[in-house]
Every structure is written in C-alpha cells, then in structure tokens.
Amino acid sequence: MSYDGGRTWKTVAAHRDHAGKRYLTLTHPKKPGTVFVRASLTDTDGNTSAETIRTAYRTVR
C-alpha cells in the first residue's frame, strides 16, 4: 500500500478467516488522499505475478 503516490510502500499481511477466505486489515493515514495498491503473488509451482493499481481508491475524513 502507498499513501503518498507510490514514493513509499507499506507491506500489509494477508489473513485468513475461519472459512479460509483471505482479507487485509488496512490502517489509513488521517489525512485524506489517494491509495495505490501493489500485489505480488507466488503459487506452489514458483510462478509469480505482480500488479500495481495506481489510484485504486481515495480516502476521506
């Protein structure tokens, strides 16, 4: 996650609920702004994928 236009990035851990579904718990800064999301995935065979979504959403306060 980046809250400053991609200049810095914060790692967010994925969690699993009791049914095995994954989710993230995010803590946004108090100042409203644009959120960038970057995900990197690796499967059990070692295949990888990476994606960055610029301006994924905006926060408000």
pLDDT at 45: 98
The percentage of the chain sitting over the pLDDT mark of 90, rounded to a whole number, equals 92
Angstrom distance (rounded) from CA 1 to CA 8? 8
pLDDT at 61: 74
Angstrom distance (rounded) from CA 34 to CA 42? 27
Tens digits of residue pLDDT in 32-60: 999 999 999 999 999 999 999 999 999 99
pLDDT at 34: 95
Contact 23, 15 (CB under 8 A): yes
CA-based max dimension of the chain? 43
- What are the Cα distances from residue 57, in Å, to 28, 41, 44, 52, 60? 12, 21, 31, 13, 10
The pTM (predicted TM-score) of the whole model is 0.76
pLDDT at 46: 97
- Please report which residue ranges of 1-61 form alpha helices under DSSP H: none
